[in-house]
Each structure stands twice: as C-alpha cells, then as structure tokens.
Amino acid sequence: MNIYVGNLSWSMTDEDLANLFTQFGTVASAKILKDKMNGRSKGFGFVEMEDDEAARTAISNLNETEVMGRKIIVNESQPRQEGEGGYKKRNSGFGGGGYRKGGGHRNGGFNRDY
C-alpha cells in the first residue's frame, strides 16, 4: 500500500520517514518530495509498505501525531485522476517580450517623449 504523509518537518530525511513506519511492518520505500530548484523538502512524502494490514495500522496510529514538532497527516495515497499532474506551463513573470507593431506602448510601442 502507498501512504501519503504530509506536514512533515523541513529537516526530516527519507531515512527518518522510513524509521517512523518500520515499527508497524516492512517498508518497501520512503521518499520525501523535494523542490527541483533548491532541493528543499516540500513537506510531504510517500511510504510504501508491503503488507496492507500493517499499512492500515501505521495510518491509524500515526495520523495527527506530533513528529519532530509538527502534527503529521497520514492517509492512504489516492491515485492521480486522469488529467492531473504532468507538465504545467507557468508564467515566469517576465512578460511576453518581442516586438509588436502598433501594440504595447503608446506611439506604436516606443516612448518618443525624449
């Protein structure tokens, strides 16, 4: 079973996350997601446990408990719905740029008040 774990401490490591769940059963993997730009934790991650019953026990025992000073959220991970995720184009904040005849600024795009 794949388990979502949210509201994690920024200093928590993948190993810390795995150790938190091993008391309930075998952990196949534990991964905290990190920002691609700066490598900082996004504050959530996923744990995969081999035994579904052990995973349910871990969820019920760990959800809303305090770990490293934060009350964590633990629940069964839901698969992404079709159309979610993937590449999203984001506005960089730098505008469109380029030359536009007659557009943009007054007087055809050029400031002639000099």
At 19-74, the pLDDT tens digits run 999 999 999 999 999 999 999 999 999 999 999 999 999 999 999 999 999 999 99
> 66 in a domain, yes or no?
yes
pTM over 0.85: no
Give residue 55's pLDDT.
98
Q: In terms of residue numbers, what domain contains 30?
A: 2-76
Give the chain's largest Cα–Cα span: 76
Residue pair 10/39 in contact (Cβ under 8 Å)? The answer is no
| Residue predicted with more confidence, 113 or 44 | 44
How many domains is the chain built from?
1
Asked whether residue 15 is domain-assigned, the answer is: yes
User: Is residue 24 domain-resident?
Assistant: yes
- Residue 79 has a pLDDT of 81
In 3D space, the residue among 78, 23, 80 whose CA is nearest the CA of residue 55 turns out to be 23
In a domain, 44, yes or no: yes
Buried-state track 79-92, b at ≥16 Cβ within 10 A, e below 16: eeeeeeeeeeeeee
Q: Is the residue at 48 inside a domain?
A: yes
pLDDT tens track for 82-104 = 665 554 444 445 555 555 555 55
